[in-house]
Amino acid sequence: MTMQRRDFLRAAAAVAGAGVLPGCATTGGGTGGKVVVVGGGYGGATVSKYLRMWGGGKVEVTMIEPRENFVSCPISNLVLGGSRTIADVTVSYEALGKRWGVNVVRDTVTGVDADKRVVTTAGGKTFAYDRLVLSPGIDLQFSAIPSYRADPARAIEIAPHAWQAGPQTVLLRRQLEAMPDGGVCAISIPLAPYRCPPGPYERACQIAFYFKRHKPRSKVLIVDANPDVTSKAGLFKRAWAEEYRGIVEYRPNHTLADVDLATRTLKFEVGDDLRANVINVIPPQNAGAIARTAGVITANNRWCEVDFLSYESIRGKGIHVLGDSTLSAPGMPKSGHMANNHAKVAASAILNLLAGAPVNPAPMLMNACFSYITDEQAIHVVSVHHYDVAKKTMVAVPGSGGVPPAMSPFIGRAANAWAKNIWADSLG
């Protein structure tokens, strides 16, 4: 690999900017190029901040996100358990603007012109870019459920998914609070891959935590399209057999066919119908809609394949995709932690690409997924991934990663520290 001397010097300058810290937060101003970031979740917020920080403020970054604040999916199951409020998992975008000089725009991107390198928004604005980052998260496939097709907005009022944290989380909590003791809450899980593999099982624990204390005759019934628990299976099953004995029941191989919304009855491809008082239907998922608009959904009509050295779409065109929207590499979960790590690899690569320099040929990723069993005790699964040159993908480093022997309050405290730090790292 060779490059022109001036490119080498520009690359060296870009790397020298790495040490630049807060205080340089003037919006735009730079001559290092323009990046537009679509989405302000773990991926979008982190890439925006790191482009400004590592770029020494020279790259102009505009982040376009329709929501007023960031609401974290991780930890949001504790809102259902009652030990946290939605305010506890809500973080302002203010620091991205004030501290880092990111131009945060509250709007929805509706169009991408990859040839002209311009995006357009629902609010009628246009933004030009040199590099575009799409970090839209997931869209829920309401069309997969026949009774949802006519009016999905009404369907999710009756059967909240709560799989994008916010009002849906609060709605599900209210339904649980209104449910009489002796009632049943059913959780329907789609076939993997879906956002946050352990999330539905943690949710079952948190709802059971609430029932055990306030509605002890009530039940949580997990109806899972997968043949087994998809993450930390031994640890979750132990929690259901011990901590939540008689409260949680797990049924694998239950693929949802339809929902009778009038009677809150779940119907399956195989198996008896299930009528419940509260139905939490987590639909199948695909990459966020803007990825389809931009033409970067390339796998199974659902996910975006990327070059794991830069997170640029395999279609190229200067469009990078991060987080849950990507076709995950083997062993790489769709998680907020992963999206944050994708964002850093992408930020490093984008700065070098803008400077005409080669990207890091050996990126690494870490992942930590914590799951709270009670309000204080938690479990985890962690992994370390490196780039495999021959396979051109990320692979888990042999011998690394794993799960703990049992739930513990130490892991609970680590989970809390994880949340505080990743929110600050992504948004602060």
Partner 1 sequence: MRTISAIGIFAIAVAPAFAQAPTTAQARDMAATCANCHGTNGVSSGGTDSLAGVPKAETARKMREYKAGNRPSTVMQQLAKGFTDEQIDAMAAWFAAQPAK
Residue 69 backbone dihedrals phi, psi, to 5 degrees? -130, 160
**Residue 361, CA atoms < 13 Å, CB-side half-sphere:** 5
**Which residue's CB is nearer to partner 1, number 255 or number 416?**
416
**Which residue's CB is nearer to partner 1, number 258 or number 425?**
425
**Which residue's CB is nearer to partner 1, number 100 or number 201?**
100
**Which residue's CB is nearer to partner 1, number 325 or number 352?**
352
Least distance between partner 1 and beta carbon 324 (Å): 16
Least distance between partner 1 and beta carbon 334 (Å): 16
**Which residue's CB is nearer to partner 1, number 12 or number 178?**
12
Q: Which helix or strand (DSSP H or E) is residue 61 part of?
A: strand 60-64
Query: Do residues 268 and 255 touch, judged by C-beta distance below 8 A?
Result: yes
Where are the alpha helices (H) located in 33-149, listed in sequence order? 42-54, 77-81, 94-98
Which one-letter DSSP state was computed for residue 23? T
Q: Which residue has the tokens 């779409």?
A: 313
Strand segments (E) across 298-388: 306-307, 312-313, 319-321, 364-372, 378-388
What region, left, alpha or beta, does residue 256 occupy, with left being phi > 0 and alpha being psi -120 to 50 degrees?
A: beta
Least distance between partner 1 and beta carbon 330 (Å): 15
Least distance between partner 1 and beta carbon 58 (Å): 16
Cβ-proximal residues to 399 (8 Å cutoff; 6+ apart), any chain: none
Smallest Cα–Cα separation from 194: which of 170, 219, 169, 224? Answer: 224
Pairing relationship of beta strands 60-64 and 103-105 according to DSSP bridges: parallel
Least distance between partner 1 and beta carbon 7 (Å): 8
Least distance between partner 1 and beta carbon 43 (Å): 13
Smallest Cα–Cα separation from 185: which of 155, 239, 222? Answer: 222
Where does residue 13 rank: exposed (0-12), middle (13-18), buried (19+ CB within 10 A)? middle
**Which residue's CB is nearer to partner 1, number 150 or number 390?**
390
**Which residue's CB is nearer to partner 1, number 9 or number 191?**
9
**Which residue's CB is nearer to partner 1, number 180 or number 405?**
405
Please state the three-class secondary structure of 227-268 as a single string: CCCCCCHHHHHHHHHCCCCCCEEEECCCCEEEEECCCCEEEE
Least distance between partner 1 and beta carbon 36 (Å): 22
Least distance between partner 1 and beta carbon 138 (Å): 21
Chain positions contacting partner 1, by CB under 8 A: 1-5, 8, 11-12, 15, 18-19, 21, 49-50, 53-54, 337, 340-341, 344-345, 348, 352, 357-366, 368, 380, 382-387, 389-390, 397, 399-402, 404, 408, 410-411, 413-414, 416-418, 420-425, 428
Query: Do residues 222 and 201 touch, judged by C-beta distance below 8 A?
Result: yes
**Which residue's CB is nearer to partner 1, number 126 or number 421?**
421
Tokens of 29: 């101003």
Least distance between partner 1 and beta carbon 74 (Å): 11
CB atoms under 10 Å from CB of 94, counted, come to: 12
